[in-house]
Structure 1
Amino acid sequence: MRKGWLVAVAVAAALSGCSGEVANTASTAVQTQASVSLPAGVTLVESYAPKAGEIGIPFNKYQLANGLTVILHQDHSDPLVHVDVTYHVGSDREYYGRTGFAHLFEHMMFQGSEHVADEQHIKTVTEAGGSMNGTTNTDRTNYFETVPSNQLEKMLWLESDRMGFLLPALTDEKFEVQRATVKNERGQRVDNRPYGRVGEVFDQAFYPAGHPYSWPVIGWPADLDRATSQDVRDFFSRWYGPNNATLTIGGDLNEAQTLAWVNKYFGEIPRGPEVTSLAKPLVTLDKTRYVSFEDNVHLPLLQIGFPTVYARHEDEAPLDVLASILGGGETSILYKNLVKDGYAVQAQASHGCSELACRMAFIALANPAKGGALAPIEAKVRESIQEFEARGVTDEDIDKVKMQIRSQTIYGLQSVSGKVSSLASNETFTGEPNQVEYDLKRYGAVTKADVMRVYNQYIKGKPSVVLSVVPKGGEALIAAADNFTPTNPPVADKAVEGLTEEKPQVAQSSFDRNIEPPAGEPVTLHVPELWRSKLANNVEVMGTQSTETPTTSLVIYFDGGHKLEALSKAGLASLTADVLNDSTAKHSTEELAQQLDLLGARISFSANDYQSSIRVTALTENLDATIALLKEKLLEPGFVAADFERDKQQMLQMLQHESSSPSALASKGFSKMLFGDDMYLGVSANGTLSTVPNITLADVKAFYQKQYTAGNAQIVAVSDLPQASLMQKLAPIAALTGPGASAPTEPANTLVKANTVYLIDKPGAAQSVIRVGKLAMTFDVDGDYFKSTLMNYPLGGAFNSRINLNLREDKGYTYGARSMFVGGKEQGYFYVGADVRADVTDKALAEVMKEISRYHAQGMTAAELKFTQNSISQSKAMDYESPYDKAGFIRTIQRYDLPVNYIEQQDKILANANVEQLSQLAQKWLDPQSMGILVVGDKATVQPGLEALGYKVVDMTL
């Protein structure tokens, strides 16, 4: 646990944004002749490669005759490609009363097209060993796949078919299913989530009536009900033409072949209606507006927002620096004035920018231990703003933000998907893919005077919007009485404007698109070359060299964690990690945070069920200084009483907050059902409201001595440095001493009973959380556990699995459902989970159990086995791409003491698996009578239906 858990309150979505506004560019001049022979109708627009010492992403930019922009980036480090199609349309192109279309269309685009059957798009990508998704925000919608490089042509066939041939396959039935799915998504992410409505309530007060940002991206429920399938067709025809899209491909590709494929599959798609940019008038407020609402929450929340500029405006960079000074982490003024003194559990400032508008936002979660009233919190935020004015801007403030931008840029280059996303976003919003070096320069040019100028221009004395979110019945806690009620313009007559033809031009193809392109030659996996070594204190280090970016990632693992603590003091491992994230004997929390920020590094302590760990991320050029700080934090903790009391109070408030989260309740209830109260796995590693108050600072000190020792430690390292050089730099960690610790493990005392539902009452819940499961196998790489993960894949391990297709696509009960086997060293379990509409809780549970029963009795089919084999075998091309991926691979080998080539054994098992063998595992492990069932929902609503199914309903308390 760490203070960053506020992110889960879903406020971030209201503050995030994209790029926008054409900016200066660091690209080289446009080439007049391609380095490859270009297909007819394809034009090379620009070619870029970073100069010596310059940070950037090399690419070639092309344009087809129909206006489609194509960006290609070659990266042969791994045998994979990432394909991104970004359409410059988001919720900002909707009209009042006709909202939610951009997001609804994100769903519709996965439902098949004229030459791709229903559900076939996702199945094809999955069977190719790839992953895919789509996202929508205020300004753009994108669709992307990462696949082995030999599957590229197939991805272009899929993406082009839904760009040019979607409408013939769009049926009223598909529309209704996806409308239901979006409603379920809204229920799960907005209506059933604490603080889920913050963004939409705030935006209505912040933006003028009818402004493109004044409604939520997911849309208003009434607007979704109002939509028709013709509206959807019109929306597609208006915005999904190739001239409003950017196709970006990065990875292990042959550029000439890729261009030929792009031209073949996309070149014949007709150009869509012309698209013009939206106006960007600066948002203004006539006075400070107060709005509030009650929610099923524990921690009162205050959000204050000031209108500023729009993305890539010349003042964006200095406003970002200002936000960092005011509320950017533990060195900020807000942290000092609100969090440090305990008035708020968390407080932060950010300058979120989207294409049409930005805002300076301040968010604070009030500490109920100090009353929880939001008026004093607002006063302290405004006093902090005034304190900045008196304090001014320091050289370190500027240097810190410059380093943050530089380090974040470098870390963003660690994966092909990250580079492709950057190129695609920059092209969409600026018309220029290369903004990396330009961004570094514009932030590098910010001066102290610039920061004070934007403060005076946009913040000082300016009106703002102040939102209070308080617990049910907590109206007295709001910052001030509401003085604003949104006014709504008339509902728009049409979903779109600008369609010039009643029947849009239909694409004609010169080849048979019904033929799915074959895969290319099988790719050769680039399994990392691993090395092992030991520090002078005998701590094992296992690592690999990765030269794609000049960075180093380390994780120090300490065997123990939650299992090492007494259950009467559950949460001790997590609280100890929190305290170790704070002061040392030499420096305060703020001083350490400042030093790390100036290095572009991060050191983070955490703990989970079976280990404590320290994650270190550094630019290799600053690794020595980062290791010095790591040594200080690890070996010379401050154990400051004020830090401990603050961290303990925050942990208690977090636990109270979790009591309002259905998903958190389900997680805790499921663990209790499977393992009981006497085993560490049955009690949350974050502790409980009855255990955390028992923990003292003396307990933390004692746990530190027991946990953070050389005898418990192992290190994973991924760096651009060779082994010898890196081991030299890690030498200071050898000062760590101490023996290993052992923890006796109580056996699980499962509460699972046949035909029984454990029910956690959540009055008024818009959705119910269903969890089904049982105790199962411990982890292995070649036994029943591994083989059962293969067996489960078509049941609930893939999007096209039986459970998900039933509940999501066929019935419209849920946004998503899945099942899995989870194995640890000491215990494993089987799990099925879905968040469903409250009114179909009983029906959804019946369908889950029906699918389990059928699979238990009949097993998988030959077609499902083939799908599983193809998907899992080919997906291995993506297992080792980023430093994070490599570190996870290394840790698995290290933790379970596996041979380096264990993947080869798994490949053989996968290739030789047969239906009978895996079906026998289904018969052994998936008996529905052995399953425990947990439901979190409104008892009054769901209990009668559950009892009608024949289940005994037992109340569960946590």
Structure 2
Amino acid sequence: MSKKSTLVICLAVAMSMQAQAQKKATPAKKTATTAASAKGQQGSTRLIEKVTRKPGELKIPYEKYQLPNGLTVVVHEDHSDPIVHVDVTYHVGSGREEVGKSGFAHFFEHMMFQGSDNVADEEHFKIVSEAGGTLNGTTNRDRTNYFETMPSNQLETAIWLEADRMGFLLDAVTQQKFEVQRETVKNERGQRVDNAPYGLSYEKTSAALYPYGHPYSWTTIGYIEDLNRVNVNDLKNFFLRWYGPNNATLTVGGDVTPEQVVKLAEKYFGSIPKGPEVRNQKLPAPVLAQDRYVSYEDNVRFPSLTITFPTVPSNHPDEPALDVLSRIIGGGRTSIIYQNMVKTQKANSAGAYHSTSELAGEFTLTARVLPTQNLADAEKQLRESMAEFEKRGVTDEDIERYKASYESGMVNSLSSVSGKTSMLAAYQTFTGNPNYLTKEMQAVNSVTKADVQRVYNQYLKGKKAVLLSVVPKGKSDLIAKADNFKVDATGYKAPADQYSGLKYTKATDAFDRSKRPAAGANPVITVPPFWKEQLSNGIKVIGAKSDEVPTVTLLFTLQGGHKLEAHDPSKAGLASMTASMLNESSQKFTSEEISTQLEKLGSSISFGSGAESMTVQVSSQVKNLDATLALLEERMFRPRFDATEFDRLKKQRLEAIKNQSTQPTTVADNVYNKMLYGEGNIRAVPVVGTVKTVENISLEDVKKFYNDYFSPSVTNLVIVGDTDQKQIMSKLAFLNTWKPKPVNMPADTKLAGIDKTKIFIVDKEKAAQSEIRIGYMALPYDATGEYYKANLMNYVLGGAFNSRINLNLREDKGYTYGARSGFSGTEEAGPFTASAGVRSNASDASVVEFMKEIKRFREEGITDAELAFMKNAIGQSDARRYETSFQKAAFLNNMLRYNLTPDYVAKQNEILQNITKEEINALAKKYLPVDNMSIMLVGDKAAIKPGLEKLGYDVVELDPDGAPVAPAAAAAPVDVKKEEPKKGRKPKDTVGRTF
């Protein structure tokens, strides 16, 4: 219910419900067992339940089984695409950890990719990638999951891989692998937490909100000191305690049958012994006797205040009402906080949200104010917004909008096999009932106005909270109130030891697990059928029917965007400002009224602008399409261009640009683009503009840009959804009234050249990591020419997880959380870029390894094994290319944008299968000019410059705008502590994907 975009991860329930759900499940006929009663197990596999779906019903059909060793198996059969999604979820996250051992669950997720008895180091990623699949693992407070999406002929391989690491992992866990993964996790923390603005916020809030020792009082990534303290035996014990089949759910969805999945589950998982019993946790909600004020200084521009109240766990009866409450108080343009603080320009951004986990929930109010504003004022304004809710109350429209948004979000989440499979896995893990969606929908539809008012009185009114102030360094006077809380361990009692006496017992089988399963016949892949049409005013339309979910997606692409600003570079950012204004009021409706109507429809309309185009994206359920298109017509053709709204957006834009200096990744990207494109090229200027150029933009400029360039003559329209050509085009008849106008595209500007490879440094004082960009301007997009072939060449260099660059910098050395390279051309030439965020004290060593790998690949070329891997991995990935509406829309948009013929995919496949080792090596020599690349780092100059100066390249200092910095007077040498490279290897990760 809370945060629907992460529903598949976060759904959880009170502890007793698993037993209740099992009691309520209707026993069905027993299914025969094959290898199910393998040695050491008793009984046979049981069919627990079978759930079917009636036409029009929002439900995921499935069959649920349980093996004798306690493994739950859930199967969703869906033959719409030749793919399969396999998910193994373990009911263990950081919520099972103890004081002093934070980060174990996440650390162990990394270790699960390091090979097992029958799967060699790095093989897990290689096997899945070579089969045309994708994979990852994630960890949160309450569960860890591992998953792969593959062509359906690879089902047995996926199950074999997951079973091998469940039952045969620990003998493959070495000290060497352990040390590399420790470094990788620390790099991940550096990238996501220590080197990110506001990165410590949730860690600080959690420590203040929950009692000392509560497993939510630390975050999933863990503390550095705990990561340094942990040893390999600790990790092994964590596996033995929590990674048994009786604490896991295997969920398989896609082009499979239940009989097929059960047979394979019995074969590969059936003989794995049960683990120790795992009991559900239940902890009391935090009780705060007073408001707890905490604060810290950070490298940020906007002072930030968050106020967090403890609430209820996931799936508690009060959760839906609290979700509605968060939307009314701070969830969007019509919310009280937005109206009081953002629209009035008292805050740069502000809002409220309600998030829940298995053991607790948190209701959060947040505001980021302008640089000189005091957070005491922000606290006053947030509390006044709460008080305003009491006077305002709850309306029928509030309830209607929430329910429509919920339904829309749920429908969209069911658009892919992976989405449906992950949802079944989460519901089973936390409720014992994969069909919990039905119960959740009933809870949402039962929410009343009185419920919302009651939960406000019960959980927020007069209640105490944690108030976290984050202020710019040296600005402690801006905090809301002096700190009055410190973590206190008094009274803490360590839990009973759960890890003594654990033994590793391997399964015994009647077959050879070391033999990798053979793949079935390759699935037949066909490009989705589509239709084309061109309107009299020039709009090119392409569409495809997709009836898996009752939705329609429209994507308008207008050529130009930022590129058109080359006509007047002094007003760069104008296209982006115009798109922002189109998201505001129309002549007939205010922006709040449009937002209200869209929420009630469960639809969205959004305008955006990028480097080479402006876009309009529309999403709607079929039943609400007419009303959504009426709002689209209003927004596209009757914008109000209100002066007050323009002033607010311009002020916010200027503050956002100034804030970029606190974000190392953004600084790196902006400076790198300036180096690539050179002075005088509009692409050297950020899409959002600079402070100077945005200050030059007036409302009249916006109106002129819209009138001159918002034209059907440069517009492509992609339509994908549950509608056919005749139906949708009749509904879009209003587009025929759109008058065309000539749009003069600027001539291409000469690109900057690189005379020789140099190192450029942008100083980011005290940065924990350095952002590295290495590259040059390469070539434009070509679907079947050298651009396509160059990306084939790059795949094993830096385009896959198992690429040379990533295996070196991440897996062998432990310098980074992820490193990569690739070509990114469009109609114009685009760059080849190698990039990573690396440990600060490994900056120079990382540059050495990047350049070594690029040079070695250029000189020595690809191996026979790498060539075969690349062909298999890319060739078999077609099964995943056209599954969702988004994927179909991207495919069709590419065809229109580059005027591609329908057979271009077949031509690509022919090129892929026939490309030779000699061709790849020639491409490497041509497109990897190691002596003519720019090497740029954003990091702590004092720490990284001495090492970089020893590498033999010229070193140039730049400011955050990319301008050269005048040399300073000579300073005393800096003693830079460097760590020795670690040996070993590592996997793919957690909360986000590396690739």
934-943 or 526-535: bigger deviation: 526-535
Q: How does 1:898-909 map to 2 (within 5 A)?
A: 898-909=900-911
Aligned residues: 945
SS at match of 2:662: coil
Matched, 1:638 2:640: yes
Say if 1:718 and 1:373 are closer, same or farther in 2 by CA, change over 3 A: same
Q: How does 1:317-716 map to 2 (within 5 A)?
A: 317-368=320-371, 371-488=372-489, 497-499=497-499, 501-565=501-565, 566-716=568-718
Partner Cα separation in structure 2 for residue 254 and residue 441 of structure 1:
30
Match of 2:188 in 1: 185
SS at match of 1:57: coil
Partner Cα separation in structure 2 for residue 157 and residue 928 of structure 1:
42
Matched, 1:20 2:13: yes
745-754 or 158-167: bigger deviation: 745-754
Check conservation: 2:8, 2:422, Cα contact below 8 A: no
Matched, 1:298 2:339: no
Check conservation: 1:16, 1:354, Cα contact below 8 A: no
Check conservation: 1:679, 1:745, Cα contact below 8 A: no
Q: CA deviation at 1:57?
A: 0.4
Q: CA deviation at 1:664?
A: 0.3
Deviations 1:217-252 (A, max 9, x none): 111000001100000000000000000001100001
Q: CA deviation at 1:539?
A: 1.4
Aligned residue identity for 2:233: Q
Task: Name which of 200, 204, 218 aligns with 2:203.
Answer: 200
Segments of structure 2 that go 5 or more residues without pairing to the other structure are 37-43, 962-995
Q: CA deviation at 1:331?
A: 1.1
Match of 1:32 in 2: 28
Match of 1:275 in 2: 278
Task: Name which of 72, 79, 82 aligns with 2:75.
Answer: 72
Segments of structure 1 that go 5 or more residues without pairing to the other structure are 1-6
Check conservation: 2:537, 2:740, Cα contact below 8 A: no
Say if 1:27 and 1:38 are closer, same or farther in 2 by CA, change over 3 A: farther
SS at match of 1:86: strand
Task: Name which of 53, 57, 62 aligns with 1:54.
Answer: 57
Match of 1:136 in 2: 139
Aligned residue identity for 1:396: E
Say if 1:50 and 1:30 are closer, same or farther in 2 by CA, change over 3 A: same
Deviations 1:641-665 (A, max 9, x none): 1111111111111112211000000
Aligned residue identity for 2:558: F
Check conservation: 2:571, 2:696, Cα contact below 8 A: yes
Q: CA deviation at 1:469?
A: 0.5
Check conservation: 2:427, 2:435, Cα contact below 8 A: yes
Check conservation: 2:772, 2:936, Cα contact below 8 A: yes
Matched, 1:235 2:228: no
Check conservation: 1:577, 1:607, Cα contact below 8 A: yes
Aligned residue identity for 2:13: G
Q: CA deviation at 1:30?
A: 2.4
Identity %: 49
Q: CA deviation at 1:728?
A: 1.1
Q: CA deviation at 1:437?
A: 2.2
Partner Cα separation in structure 2 for residue 523 and residue 14 of structure 1:
31
Partner Cα separation in structure 1 for residue 111 and residue 725 of structure 2:
49
TM-score relative to the length of structure 1? 0.96
Match of 2:893 in 1: 891
SS at match of 1:787: helix
Aligned residue identity for 1:540: K
Q: CA deviation at 1:543?
A: 0.7
Q: How does 1:840-859 map to 2 (within 5 A)?
A: 840-859=842-861
Partner Cα separation in structure 1 for residue 29 and residue 527 of structure 2:
38
Partner Cα separation in structure 2 for residue 842 and residue 29 of structure 1:
60
Say if 1:833 and 1:724 are closer, same or farther in 2 by CA, change over 3 A: same
Q: CA deviation at 1:734?
A: 2.3
Q: CA deviation at 1:500?
A: 6.0
Match of 2:221 in 1: 218
Check conservation: 1:796, 1:818, Cα contact below 8 A: yes
Aligned residue identity for 2:507: A
Partner Cα separation in structure 2 for residue 536 and residue 652 of structure 1:
40
Partner Cα separation in structure 1 for residue 693 and residue 9 of structure 2:
37
Partner Cα separation in structure 2 for residue 797 and residue 764 of structure 1:
31
Check conservation: 2:757, 2:930, Cα contact below 8 A: no
Matched, 1:943 2:942: no
Q: CA deviation at 1:806?
A: 0.4
12-21 or 307-316: bigger deviation: 12-21
Partner Cα separation in structure 1 for residue 210 and residue 752 of structure 2:
53
Deviations 1:449-503 (A, max 9, x none): 1111111111001111111111111111111111111124799999x93346342
Q: CA deviation at 1:750?
A: 2.0
774-783 or 482-491: bigger deviation: 482-491
Check conservation: 1:27, 1:434, Cα contact below 8 A: no
Partner Cα separation in structure 1 for residue 154 and residue 926 of structure 2:
36
Aligned residue identity for 1:676: G
Check conservation: 2:240, 2:503, Cα contact below 8 A: no
Say if 1:491 and 1:280 are closer, same or farther in 2 by CA, change over 3 A: closer
Check conservation: 1:127, 1:870, Cα contact below 8 A: yes
Partner Cα separation in structure 1 for residue 716 and residue 22 of structure 2:
44
Matched, 1:155 2:161: no
33-42 or 652-661: bigger deviation: 33-42
Task: Name which of 801, 819, 830 aligns with 2:821.
Answer: 819
Q: What is the Cα-based RMSD across aligned positions, in Å? A: 1.9
Aligned residue identity for 1:777: L
Check conservation: 1:37, 1:256, Cα contact below 8 A: no
SS at match of 2:691: coil
Task: Name which of 720, 723, 726 aligns with 2:725.
Answer: 723
Aligned residue identity for 1:302: L
SS at match of 1:578: helix
Match of 1:781 in 2: 783
SS at match of 1:659: helix
Match of 2:806 in 1: 804
Say if 1:197 and 1:745 are closer, same or farther in 2 by CA, change over 3 A: farther
Check conservation: 1:273, 1:499, Cα contact below 8 A: no
TM-score relative to the length of structure 2? 0.93
Check conservation: 2:538, 2:714, Cα contact below 8 A: no
Partner Cα separation in structure 2 for residue 118 and residue 531 of structure 1:
47
Aligned residue identity for 1:297: V
Aligned residue identity for 1:479: A
Partner Cα separation in structure 1 for residue 229 and residue 492 of structure 2:
10
Partner Cα separation in structure 1 for residue 331 and residue 536 of structure 2:
38
Match of 1:3 in 2: none
Say if 1:75 and 1:16 are closer, same or farther in 2 by CA, change over 3 A: closer
Check conservation: 1:98, 1:492, Cα contact below 8 A: no
Check conservation: 1:570, 1:691, Cα contact below 8 A: yes
Say if 1:27 and 1:501 are closer, same or farther in 2 by CA, change over 3 A: closer
Partner Cα separation in structure 2 for residue 491 and residue 821 of structure 1:
55
Q: CA deviation at 1:942?
A: 0.8
Aligned residue identity for 1:934: M
Check conservation: 2:347, 2:368, Cα contact below 8 A: yes
SS at match of 1:691: helix
Check conservation: 2:238, 2:499, Cα contact below 8 A: no
4+ residue segments displaced more than 3 Å: 12-18, 23-29, 34-40, 488-494, 499-502, 535-538
Deviations 1:788-836 (A, max 9, x none): 1000000000001000000001011000000001111011210100111
Say if 1:512 and 1:806 are closer, same or farther in 2 by CA, change over 3 A: same
SS at match of 1:928: coil
Say if 1:730 and 1:78 are closer, same or farther in 2 by CA, change over 3 A: same
Q: CA deviation at 1:34?
A: 5.4
